[in-house]
Each structure stands twice: as structure tokens, then as C-alpha cells.
Amino acid sequence: MFQDGAKRGAIDPCFPSKLALAHVRNLIFAKQRRKSLDCIFFPMFDVLRTRLMNIRASNACPTTALTPEVVKAAFTKEKDSFAEHKILYLNPILDLSKPDLLARQMFGAWGPVLGLSVGENRRAISEGSQTLDRFESALRQQAKEVLNRLEQEGGVGIVLLGRPYPHDPGINLGIPDNLQKRGYSIFSQSTLPMDEDTLAALFGAEVEEGVISHGLDISDVWKHTFSASSSNKLWAAKFAARHPNLIAVELSNFKCGHDAPIYSTIERIIESSGTPYFAFKDIDENRPTGSIKLRVETIDYFLKQYHKSLTDARALQEKGGEAEDSGFNLEASA
């Protein structure tokens, strides 16, 4: 799909943006043949929701945020492919952080199309927001249950440090699936548990010392908190660094302009605690199957040793000894 869509042009080196162009082309020229499409809804997300505190903003990446407008230009520059196939293309700008503003923006886009009243639109936005809240809460609760089990059994879980799109199996080269098949629980940076008990256990000492104001505060590691995904990535790195049963695997796309400035910060956060850290920073349209398989196998081998160290430390603690005597140098091994 990427190779077919790339003929329309590229949007700098951002892989997800290039894929978006290919995906819309596929909808127009392939999906439309099998089932008639009335509308393609590709909104420009400006500001995203966040629960983090003391941040300056929670904006989406400007490259991906404006991709729908670039896609629109690509299919209307020479001729209007949407009109030719009788498809309505809607790409309104949306602010997910302000419900009232979001309702107005959505009404402006969908009101004329669906014949909505203002009241119907507001009810739809409210129901959608509540459904999203319930969905995220359920995922966080599930994550907490898995985390509790890892603590009880001395297992190892992997926190994927990555923007939303590396969770797409078409983009992540199968890395999370291959790790999960080897027995590791996979956690998304966006759905880690944020209940007060968990935050107190991991960040309580720093809050008491005045280093941060709350467990969801990242101002101690990054002052320029404008990007929602970057902020989430940094907080998840702190989370993984403070939990003994978690390690971190960072996924990033080739030449991601917003991931690059925080690479060294994330590495410093995680490795300062001796937590294992691995990174795939070159995910793009190339699919180096052999090298990816080798890297996953290497991670698996190391984590088996890491898991043994956790088991030995747990057994030593139960006998009344000191965990530090387990003889496993995490920092050196990482």
C-alpha cells in the first residue's frame, strides 16, 4: 500500500504521514470499488487530552496534525479525486482537550452532513467522551492487574515507549507481538495505571521531597512540555525506571523530529535506575526481517537473565538477605 501511495508524493520523512497518504489513496481507488464510500473523515487533531500535570501544552505533532490537509491537496491539485468518486472529504481541526470547543468544531463539520441539531451534537460528543473515558479506565485497570501479577510472580513486563502509531501492526514491524509471544506482558505508554496507590508507590518519595508536585508531574526531567506524545513518553519512561518488574523498549520512526530531542533524556531516565532499555529508532518502510528477529532474540536472551536476577533477589529477600547481593549488574548489562 505504501509503494502504491508513494507515487502521489511524500510528506517529509515522517513514516506515519506517508502511510496516511497511501491509506487515503487505497480508500479512493481500491475500497471504493468494493463498497461505495460516502465520506472520508480525517480530522486534524490540534490539542490532545492528557492527565499529566504542570505541562505547558498537550499539542499533537504538527506534522501528523496537518497531514489531512496535505492529503487533501495531493488528491485535488490536478483534479478532485474525491468529487470524481462522489466522496465527501472532511478534515476539520479538532481540540480534544476542551469539550465545548470540540462540540462546536464537530458540529461545524457534521451538522450539515447529517442534519444534526445542536442538542443532538452535544449529546453525541458527551457520549463519545464518556465511552472513551470508560475504555481508557478499563485498559488502565487491566494494566494494573497484570502489573500486580508480575509483582507477585516476579515476572517481567515491557513498556512500549512510542507515539500512538507504532502500536499499529502495519508500522511496528511486529516487534511487540514477537516479544509478547516470548511471554512478556506488553504495556502501552498511554494506558499505564494512574491510580493514586500506584502513583504513591512509585513517585511518593519524590513528591514528599518536593522534587515534583504530583506523580503525574514531569517538570523535573523536561521543561519544554508542549507535545502530548513526548510528555507521555517521558512520564512512561519514569514509570518504567521506578518499577522493578518493568523494562523499556522505545519505538520511533526514522527521523522523527519530535522524538529526537528526547532520546538522550529518556535513555538517561531509564538507565540511571539500572533498568534495561532497548530502542528501535529506525522504523520506516523498510522491513529488515532478519535484523529485527535477531534484535528481538537478543532482547529475549537478556531479559531471561534479568528475570533470573529478579527471582534470585526475591528469594534472597524472603530469606531476610539483601537484594543487592544477587550478583546481577543491571547497569552494565543494559
Angle between helices 118-153 and 99-114 (to 10 degrees): 120
Sign of the alpha-carbon torsion through 180, 186, 188, 189? negative
CB contact at 8 A, 326 and 316: yes
Q: What is the DSSP letter of 28?
A: I
Q: Is residue 125 part of a domain?
A: no
C-alpha to C-alpha distance for 171 and 53, rounded to whole angstroms: 30
Q: Are residues 188 and 238 in the same domain?
A: yes
CB contact at 8 A, 25 and 76: no
Q: Are residues 215 and 285 in the same domain?
A: yes
Q: Are residues 37 and 111 in the same domain?
A: yes
Q: Are residues 186 and 243 in the same domain?
A: yes
Q: Is residue 297 part of a domain?
A: yes
Q: Which domain-ending residue is among 92, 116, 140?
A: 116
Q: Looking at residue 185, what is its pLDDT?
A: 94
CB contact at 8 A, 47 and 59: yes
C-alpha to C-alpha distance for 274 and 256, rounded to whole angstroms: 27
Q: Is residue 138 part of a domain?
A: no
C-alpha to C-alpha distance for 48 and 24, rounded to whole angstroms: 23
Burial of 173 (0-12, 13-18, 19+ CB in 10 A): buried
Q: Is residue 300 part of a domain?
A: yes
Q: Are residues 247 and 188 in the same domain?
A: yes
Query: Which residues on neighbouring strands pair with residue 95, listed in sequence order?
Result: 47
Q: Is residue 64 part of a domain?
A: yes
Amino acid found at 222: W
Q: Are residues 171 and 305 in the same domain?
A: yes
CB contact at 8 A, 333 and 303: no
Q: Are residues 169 and 221 in the same domain?
A: yes
- Looking at the structure of the chain, the number of domains it has is 2
Q: Which domain-ending residue is among 116, 133, 164?
A: 116
Q: Are residues 56 and 109 in the same domain?
A: yes
Q: Are residues 318 and 204 in the same domain?
A: yes
pTM value surpassing 0.75? yes
Q: Is residue 142 part of a domain?
A: no
Domain that holds residue 98: 2-116
Q: Are residues 194 and 105 in the same domain?
A: no
C-alpha to C-alpha distance for 170 and 3, rounded to whole angstroms: 13
C-alpha to C-alpha distance for 310 and 57, rounded to whole angstroms: 38
Q: Are residues 297 and 191 in the same domain?
A: yes
Q: Is residue 139 part of a domain?
A: no
Q: Looking at residue 40, what is its pLDDT?
A: 97
The x, y and z cell numbers of residue 239, run together, are 514509570
Mean pLDDT, each 10-residue run in order, the chain (334 residues):
72 80 92 93 96 93 91 91 96 96 97 95 96 95 96 92 86 90 93 95 96 96 91 96 94 85 93 91 78 90 85 74 42 34
Q: Is residue 310 part of a domain?
A: yes
Which domain CATH number covers 242?
Answer: 3.40.50.11900
Residue 64 CA to its chain's centroid (Å) = 14
Q: Looking at residue 333, what is its pLDDT?
A: 33
